[in-house]
Structure 1
Amino acid sequence: MTRRYNAFGPYLKKQFGTIVYKVNVDAGFTCPNRDGTLGVTGCIYCNNNSFRPSRCSPELSIKEQIRNGIRYLSGRYNAREFLVYFQPYTNTYASAPELEQLYKEALSEPGVIGLAIGTRPDCIDEEKIELLESLASDYFILIEYGLQSIYDKSLQYILRGHDYQTFLNAVNMTVGHNIHIGAHIIVGFPTETMDEMLSMADEISELPVEFLKIHQLQIIKDTVLAEQYMKEPFYTFRYEEYLDFLVDFIERLSPDIVLQRLFATAPDEILIAPKWGKTKQQIIHDIEERFIKRDAVQGSKCMCLRD
């Protein structure tokens, strides 16, 4: 079956000639939006327990976390090559020498072919870019900037602590250094219309962004957003509606952008809304079926392809 969107797994397999598995690690970082530099509560939606795997614990060393992950993936999938994903909080929020020690420790493990580093666009500088560029001469290095929205009104609403221009500055600083650039966005903020959300595909397609993660807004327990939602509920994506939105969005997205993630999945015990009652595999299946049903293809309506 011809794939109708540019997915991350097939991209990595094409690049490395084999399936590459991601090993998540928690390096014990915090965030300037939590340690008092910008704020103490974090972004209003943030609860890292909504996406941190059980094998990912800062109580263990980086090597132990990686070895536990590799042991599990090798046993279950016969995996041989791995991308270490520094995931929770802000994974460039330290000095360049400290980061160098952590990153090189991860890259020294057998089978590790590169890093994916999740961070904020206001936590990067020239010294850190130089470090990543030096690693990129021998490894696949992907930095994933948390954009969340291109609209400053939404960034202010979620108490993000930076504006859209900060993201653009980080991307411009990163481009041209052999470092792969990714972005994360969240769709469904009550501050945005459907047209505004879809227009993010047009904007991102014009940027030197190579990889993209798309999440629907989820209301998670023990967050500021949950407190607001319980007092005054607002609309969240219904399941079928999100499938159609996703297809619409990806049709408008550049076909060159690799899609790393298309939806969020928080544990049921901490998820307040939206509750779809679907497994990850069911959602992937339904997304692919919706693409087929609508005869849709990534980039078919991309403004970047118009004369």
Structure 2
Amino acid sequence: MRKPYREYKQFLTEKFGCRVHKISLDAGLTCPNRDGTAGTGGCIYCNARGSGTGAHERALSIREQIDNSMEYLRKRFKAEKFLAYFQSFSNTYAPLPRLKSLYEEALSVKDVVGITIGTRPDCVNEEILDYLAFLQKRTYLCLEYGLQSAHDRTLKIINRGHDVATFVKAVDATRRLNIPVCVHVILGLPGETEEDMLETAKFLAGLDIQAIKIHVLYVIKDTVLEQMYLKGQYKCLEREDYVRIAARFLACLPPHVVIQRVTGDPHRNELVAPSWTLEKQKNIAMLVDYMETNNLKQGSWFKKSFASISQALTGVSRNSKS
């Protein structure tokens, strides 16, 4: 059944003509917000694994990680082709020769039809982007930028280590080279109201982006956020609030943007709260039901005037060459 939003699975099937599945990879890289370059200690919700699988610590090469995942994904999801997803930490945060080696290793594996690269907007430069533009001439490639919120005050609270203007400049530079961009956002960040979250949606609706991942903030062990939660300084979103806000968030987005994710997917043994985030399929079903019941779909509230909101929130033109 078609979702009331442009589902990633459908996009990949249309593009490649078969079932394509992402394989999450851990390249053993780090982040400027953890090594002290951009900040101290990392984002408040991130632990030492950085959303990783721990595969690098187990001394598994990129090829071994892909080979190990392929067999399972073929059986479980009937996948025929695969995207190598460099997920853990910031996957453009290394010297270019090392990055080339990692990406080329992934692309050398049979049935890998492209790569997606998770990173931060302060971790790209002209040299890296020029190489990625060259690489995408021979394969599918998407660059995934973590933004989380369009509000600088929120980025300071979560210790993000960069501002919204940095994100806008990175997106502009990436799109000038025609590299597809996916943006990560988080619903339920400390201090944000529903209006704040919908402003983030409207901000993104005014940018030249091709995909979005919507996460819900959950508390995991060994993070600053866990300490805030235990002290009563942070309250998690209730499921019903997440469903309502996510539905309205999607309604603000332009219809062409691919929705790669609509909820979080925590590791069970790391999760502190809320427990409902473990019920991924139920959460998605509730979201779809809410949208259908309230006659909402992706793009229902989209207006081209949202572009002016993008500029107002950042103070930087999205067409800036700087």
Q: Which bracket does the TM-score occupy, shorter chain normalised? A: over 0.9
Q: How far 1:189 moved relative to its partner?
A: 1.6
Q: Which residue of 2 aligns with 1:302?
A: 302
Show structure 1 runs of 5+ residues with no match: none
Q: 1:13/1:57 Cα in 2 relative to 1: closer, same or farther (>3 Å)?
A: farther
Q: What is the SS of the residue equivalent to 1:304?
A: coil
Distance 1:96 1:72 in 2: 32
1:114 counterpart letter in structure 2: G
Q: How far 1:284 moved relative to its partner?
A: 1.8
Q: 1:160/1:107 Cα in 2 relative to 1: closer, same or farther (>3 Å)?
A: same
Q: Which residue of 2 aligns with 1:13?
A: 13
Q: How far 1:154 moved relative to its partner?
A: 0.7
Deviations 1:36-74 (A, max 9, x none): 222341111102658434767662011100111112212
Deviations 1:186-215 (A, max 9, x none): 121222221111111111011011110111
**Structure 1, 89-98 or 275-284: larger mean CA deviation:** 275-284
**Structure 1, 34-43 or 247-256: larger mean CA deviation:** 34-43
Show structure 2 runs of 5+ residues with no match: 307-322
Deviations 1:203-260 (A, max 9, x none): 1011011110111111111001111221233332111121111111111111111111
Distance 1:76 1:272 in 2: 28
Q: Which residue of 1 aligns with 2:92?
A: 92
Q: How far 1:305 moved relative to its partner?
A: 7.6
Q: Which residue of 1 aligns with 2:208?
A: 208
Q: Which residue of 2 aligns with 1:156?
A: 156
* Aligned ranges 1:21-60 → 2 under 5 Å: 21-47=21-47, 49=49, 51-53=51-53, 59-60=59-60
Q: Which residue of 1 aligns with 2:116?
A: 116
The 8 Å contact of residues 48 and 89 in structure 1, kept in 2 or not, is answered as no
Q: Which residue of 1 aligns with 2:130?
A: 130
Distance 1:180 1:186 in 2: 20
The 8 Å contact of residues 116 and 144 in structure 1, kept in 2 or not, is answered as yes
1:254 counterpart letter in structure 2: P
Q: Which residue of 2 aligns with 1:168?
A: 168
Q: 1:277/1:264 Cα in 2 relative to 1: closer, same or farther (>3 Å)?
A: closer
Q: What is the SS of the residue equivalent to 1:131?
A: helix
Deviations 1:112-143 (A, max 9, x none): 11011000100000110111111100111000
Q: How far 1:292 moved relative to its partner?
A: 1.6
Q: How far 1:152 moved relative to its partner?
A: 0.6
Q: Which residue of 2 aligns with 1:271?
A: 271
Q: Which residue of 2 aligns with 1:107?
A: 107
Q: Which residue of 2 aligns with 1:244?
A: 244
Q: What is the SS of the residue equivalent to 1:303?
A: coil
Percent identity, please.
41
Q: What is the SS of the residue equivalent to 2:106?
A: helix
**Structure 1, 41-50 or 116-125: larger mean CA deviation:** 41-50
- Length-normalised TM-score, structure 2: 0.90
The 8 Å contact of residues 85 and 115 in structure 2, kept in 1 or not, is answered as yes
Q: How far 1:83 moved relative to its partner?
A: 0.4
Distance 2:41 2:2 in 1: 45
Distance 2:277 2:112 in 1: 35
Q: Which residue of 2 aligns with 1:290?
A: 290
Q: What is the SS of the residue equivalent to 1:283?
A: helix
Which 4+ runs in 1 deviate beyond 4 A? 48-51, 53-58
Distance 1:58 1:181 in 2: 31
The 8 Å contact of residues 185 and 215 in structure 1, kept in 2 or not, is answered as yes
Root-mean-square deviation (Å)? 1.8
Distance 2:114 2:160 in 1: 29
Tell me whether 1:74 sits opposite 2:39 in the alignment: no
Q: Which residue of 2 aligns with 1:262?
A: 262
Tell me whether 1:227 sits opposite 2:221 in the alignment: no
- Length-normalised TM-score, structure 1: 0.94
2:124 counterpart letter in structure 1: I
